[in-house]
Amino acid sequence: MTSKDISNGIVRSVLTLAGIALLLFTLYKISPVIVYVLISIVISLIGEPVVNFLKRRLKFRNTLAVITTLVIFIGLIVGFVMMFVPLILTQSKNLSLLDTNSIQNNFNGILQQINTYLSEHNIDILSLMEQSNFTSKLNFNFLPAILNSLIGIISNFGMGVASVAFISFFLLKDKLMFQLLFRKAIPDNHEDKILASIGKINYLLSRYFSGILLQLFIVFLLYFIVLLIFGVKSAFTIAFICAILNIIPYVGPLIGTILAVVLTMMGSIGADFKTEILPTAFYVLIGFTIVQVIDNNISQPIIFSNSIKSHPLEIFIITLISGFLFGITGMILAIPTYTVIKVVAKEFCPENKIVSMLTKDI
């Protein structure tokens, strides 16, 4: 190898790295557009069954069916904002969710009452907490972060909704055209397999995202009923936050239950600890546990097993691995990504024994 070859190799490597860096920088700069496109794809997946229903059962033309579907979606979003956001803001202020110092003080007050209660049973939990410096490690900033992010998204809905609606409209309206363009771009020898994969992915993810929305609504409603039954302050806000946390598989419901118990106790500060705060928190814990039993045995099996054709243990392992590798984001994206991989593997490696076993129901 000559010095010229080495220098050429170095130049190619530098140019390749520069190209990758430029690509990543470009993707970073246009990340809002990418987000709009991804949201539009999800909406098109959720909206496709509605469009098909309007076309087949009500004999709507394609364009009218798409417009009607988007109007329904936008109407639901606007209705949600108009109905619930003022309530969230009001109850958030009552609960001091936007004041982390107040939350910290209330939490410390609850610890004092718990310590007093346990001291009567010769258990000094407060000293153990102080020795471990537990309270200083707690960070309640994620509570206002959740609300502020939601409020921020809602406040910037103007351009976002317009962009997403515009992209979603053409994804639904010109679906056949995009399929034709895509068909021309893919290699002819793999065309059938790729198109079959896309069709299955579209079908499975449409059912999955629709099921997720239904699951979150059911969980929110059950949480809300439980909190109302036991007279918990700011029941709507607590139920809403805990339902949103349910998006995170397995870990989210546990975090939500603990959070609900803590917020229930903090919302009852000033009441008698033995006769009011502790029993109410215990009842909320039982109620949320029952909701999770219902969700785990009814909602999730329907969504996971039926919509994406995967065994619950299979989903649990994939979600756990994704959580270790990529954190919370990985857990949220694990199931859709795994579904895509399974469908592609079934089309391109159907004779593989492991693939055949995992994709037998697809």
pLDDT digits (tens, 9 = 90+) for 227-242: 999 888 778 878 888 8
CA distance 193 to 184: 14
More confident residue, 354 or 54: 54
User: What percent of the chain is predicted at pLDDT more than 90?
Assistant: 7
Say which residue the tokens 């439980």 belong to: 226
Cα–Cα distances in angstroms (integers) from residue 233 to residues 96, 229, 269, in the given order:
12, 11, 11
More confident residue, 355 or 21: 21
Length of the chain in residues, anyone? 362
pLDDT digits (tens, 9 = 90+) for 111-169: 676 667 666 666 655 565 555 555 555 555 555 555 555 555 555 556 777 788 888 88
pLDDT digits (tens, 9 = 90+) for 277-329: 788 888 999 999 999 888 877 777 676 667 777 777 788 888 888 888 877 77
What are the structure tokens assigned to 80, written together? 């949600």
Q: What is the pLDDT of residue 287?
A: 93
Q: What is the pLDDT of residue 175?
A: 80
Q: What is the pLDDT of residue 224?
A: 92
| Helix, strand or coil, per DSSP, at residue 232 | coil
Q: What is the pLDDT of residue 97?
A: 47
pLDDT digits (tens, 9 = 90+) for 59-84: 888 889 999 988 888 887 777 666 55
pTM of the complete model beyond 0.75? no
Q: What is the pLDDT of residue 43?
A: 82
Contact indicator for 234, 263 with CB cutoff of 8 Å: yes
What are the structure tokens assigned to 316, written together? 């649990």
Show Cβ contacts of residue 355 under 8 Å, excluding neighbours closer than 6 positions.
342, 345, 346, 349
Cα–Cα distances in angstroms (integers) from residue 133 to residues 119, 127, 128, 225, 308, in the given order:
19, 10, 8, 36, 44
CA distance 47 to 55: 12
Region 87-91: mean pLDDT is 54
DSSP code at position 295: I
Cα–Cα distances in angstroms (integers) from residue 272 to residues 96, 235, 258, 285, 286, in the given order:
21, 20, 21, 19, 20
